[in-house]
Amino acid sequence: MSQYPSLISLLRRFGLPPQKVVLTLADLLALLGTAVAVFLLRAAFGDLDPILYRWVMPLLLLGPVLGASLGLYQNISLPPQRELKALFLLTSLLYGLILAVLFLAKTGDMYSRLVILGSWAATVFTLPILRGLCRRRFSRKRWWGTPLIILDRSDMGRELWHYLRRHPERGLTPVEIFDLPEDGPRVRELLATAARRWPKAMALILQGIGQGQALDYVTEVSRYFSTVLLVPSFNDGFKVHWLTPRDLGNVVGLLLRQNLHDKRRLGMKRCIDLFLCLLILPVLLPLGLILGLLIRLDTPGPVLYRQRRIGQGGRTLHIYKFRTMAANADAVLEDWLARDPALREEWKRDHKLKHDPRVTRMGTFLRKTSLDELPQLINVVMGGMSLVGPRPIVAEEIEKYGEVYGEYCRVKPGITGLWQISGRNDTSYEERVAYDHYYINNWSVWMDLWILGRTVPVVLSGYGAY
């Protein structure tokens, strides 16, 4: 699309943001294309009258209208897990409307259940996948996103600049960053110059909570920019919380919801774990037997390795893994650490070695593909672990978690998690703790489903593994 600047200019001339147009077309392609594909697949096994289904397509065209009401086409993209929930609701509402029409017309007997329900089930997957591919393809184009002017050069302002530059899929493109002067005339002169240079830009202000200011910057900025993003500046601890604004008359409240206190949601998490384990068992059981045979053929020793870790509530948890190291791994490690100071420092810092001398040839493959974690499904079925959660830690790592250790003990450790899909061993231990802290304080079923969906391509690509 970047090869056709005239088309981009034409869209903007009519007031149509290219980013929203592309996402709308991607959604329509997913909705219509999936329905047609399922219909053709079903028609290959029996006669279907296409005339009967001609009214379904116009109803699917309502998808973007419903999507807009669910916040799917905002300047600032929804967080991935909330977008996944909105896309599920969009698909369900559309096909619920189709079923309602069939019920009212009393013609349900004439239609294939496989076409209707199969299209719904397939679209639940194709809609977020196509959106993700669309963002991956276009989000770094110059025309993607809304220009953003950050009116604060503090550490937090620069942090926001770099974050948004690294994540253009969020829909904001920082173009300017500067401090606001303290006197009115200079502020107005600066804002007027910025508005002339970037007439379609959004302005971002970092607003200190409880900090008195002689000048009402929000009012001043609002005179020059049609859209202003106000970011409250709390202490560092608040960065890990999702805060939802709520209008309380003449004041604004920020709602913080802790889903981990809701036993119904925790019960749903457990049901999802058991259902998915049962669903993938026919595929993973033969795979596990093959991997076990290859491990035995590679080096002598047991197939499974049992490790002591810390689980929910700080209790001892024994997790299962495929053996990836030599049978005398502890002796090998002690010998190498005694001879190599750099290796000893790396082990002290991360409790991991990028080039671990204990790892076997088969172990290298298992770690690269994360298949060494496969036996932990036993721990999930037994209830000691979940499919998604923080990675289980050893006692020596408690000190590295610091105050976050109390948060870690609130949940079951997981086979995959936010850290694993965010770089794994390409990140520092401090970043790992931050990812776990964020996950625990903002957990939802939709976040788990999003992480599970992201885990598949991460494992296939070996991203962040060693």
Q: Tell me if 333 is assigned to some domain.
A: no
Q: Tell me if 346 is assigned to some domain.
A: no
Span 29-44, average pLDDT: 91
| Same structural domain, 210 and 195 | yes
The pLDDT tens digits of the residues spanning 137-190 come to 998 888 888 899 999 888 888 888 998 998 898 889 999 998 888 888 888 899
**Whole-number Å distance between alpha carbons of 353 and 338:** 14
| pLDDT for position 5 | 62
| pLDDT tops 70 at residue 3 | no
| pLDDT for position 95 | 94
| Same structural domain, 130 and 96 | yes
More confident residue, 57 or 349: 57
CA distances from 285 to 137, 146, 344, 379 (A): 36, 48, 38, 15
| Domains held by the chain: number | 3
**Whole-number Å distance between alpha carbons of 112 and 128:** 25
| pLDDT for position 1 | 46
Which of 176, 201, 236 terminates a domain? The answer is: 236
Counting every residue, how long is the chain? 466
Which class for 228: exposed (0-12), middle (13-18), buried (19 or more C-beta within 10 A)? middle
| pLDDT for position 45 | 82
Among 174, 202, 223, which Cα is nearest to 74's?
A: 202
| Same structural domain, 180 and 71 | no
| Same structural domain, 81 and 123 | yes
**Whole-number Å distance between alpha carbons of 304 and 200:** 59
**Whole-number Å distance between alpha carbons of 98 and 76:** 31
Span 51-63, average pLDDT: 86
| pLDDT for position 466 | 47
| pLDDT for position 241 | 66
- H or E element, residue 387: strand 386-388
Lowest mean pLDDT among 27-31, 313-317, 437-441: 437-441
| Same structural domain, 134 and 168 | no
Task: Provide the 8-state DSSP code for 201.
Answer: P
Among 92, 117, 123, 107, which Cα is nearest to 55's?
A: 107
Q: What angle do CA 190, 191, 196 make, to 5 degrees?
A: 105
Span 199-218, average pLDDT: 74
Which class for 437: exposed (0-12), middle (13-18), buried (19 or more C-beta within 10 A)? buried
Confidence of residue 379 (pLDDT cuts 50, 70, 90): very high
Task: Provide the 8-state DSSP code for 50.
Answer: G
CA distances from 218 to 31, 213, 214, 226, 436 (A): 41, 11, 12, 12, 34
Q: Tell me if 253 is assigned to some domain.
A: no
Span 400-409, average pLDDT: 89
**Whole-number Å distance between alpha carbons of 312 and 316:** 8
| pLDDT tops 80 at residue 38 | yes
In DSSP terms, 149 is beta-bridged to 176, 203
Total H helices, total E strands in the chain:
18, 10
Q: Tell me if 112 is assigned to some domain.
A: yes
State phi, psi for 204 to the nearest 5 degrees: -120, 130
Q: Tell me if 194 is assigned to some domain.
A: yes
Which of 139, 161, 188 terminates a domain? The answer is: 139
Give me the residue label for tokens 């996944």. Answer: 84
| Same structural domain, 13 and 77 | yes
At 149, the amino acid letter reads I
| pLDDT tops 60 at residue 253 | yes
The pLDDT tens digits of the residues spanning 210-245 come to 455 566 788 888 889 988 888 877 666 556 667 777
Q: Tell me if 250 is assigned to some domain.
A: no
**Whole-number Å distance between alpha carbons of 228 and 168:** 19
| Same structural domain, 94 and 61 | yes
**Whole-number Å distance between alpha carbons of 15 and 161:** 26
Q: Tell me if 268 is assigned to some domain.
A: yes
Question: SS3 helix, strand, coil % of the chain, rounded to 5?
Answer: 60, 10, 30
Among 296, 351, 358, 294, which Cα is nearest to 325's?
A: 358
Task: Provide the 8-state DSSP code for 261.
Answer: G
Give the SS3 label for residue 314.
Answer: helix
The pLDDT tens digits of the residues spanning 279-332 come to 999 999 999 999 999 998 888 888 998 889 999 999 999 999 998 887 776 777
| pLDDT for position 152 | 86
159 alpha carbon, distance to own chain's centre: 20
| Same structural domain, 154 and 131 | no
CA distances from 67 to 63, 84, 93, 442, 452 (A): 6, 12, 10, 24, 24
| pLDDT tops 60 at residue 34 | yes
Rounded to two decimals, the pTM is: 0.81
Give the SS3 label for residue 306.
Answer: strand
Q: Roughly what angle, to the nearest 10 degrees, separates helices 5-13 and 18-43?
A: 110
Sheet with 172-177: strands ordered across: 172-177, 146-150, 202-208, 228-233
| Same structural domain, 230 and 130 | no
The pLDDT tens digits of the residues spanning 91-108 come to 999 999 999 988 887 776
| Same structural domain, 153 and 17 | no
CATH (domain of 212)? 3.40.50
Instruction: Let me know: does 163 contact 112? Beta carbons within 8 Å.
Output: no
| pLDDT for position 420 | 85
Q: What angle do CA 289, 295, 296 make, to 5 degrees?
A: 95
**Whole-number Å distance between alpha carbons of 335 and 347:** 13
| pLDDT for position 127 | 96
Task: Extract the tokens encoding 434.
Answer: 């931050």
| pLDDT for position 75 | 85
Which of 108, 139, 170 terminates a domain? The answer is: 139
Residues of the chain above pLDDT 70, percent? 91
| Same structural domain, 161 and 36 | no
Q: What is the chain's mean pLDDT, rounded?
A: 85
- Residues spanned by the domain of 429: 263-324+359-461
| pLDDT for position 370 | 82
**Whole-number Å distance between alpha carbons of 29 and 35:** 10
Task: Extract the tokens encoding 249.
Answer: 């008359």
| pLDDT for position 210 | 47
Residues 6+ apart with CB under 8 A from 421: 451, 454, 455, 458
The pLDDT tens digits of the residues spanning 148-158 come to 999 988 888 88
Task: Extract the tokens encoding 173.
Answer: 């493109």
More confident residue, 242 or 30: 30
**Whole-number Å distance between alpha carbons of 365 and 372:** 9
| Same structural domain, 317 and 447 | yes
Span 13-39, average pLDDT: 89
Give me the residue label for tokens 């970037």. Answer: 198
Q: Tell me if 84 is assigned to some domain.
A: yes
Task: Provide the 8-state DSSP code for 265.
Answer: H
| pLDDT tops 70 at residue 2 | no
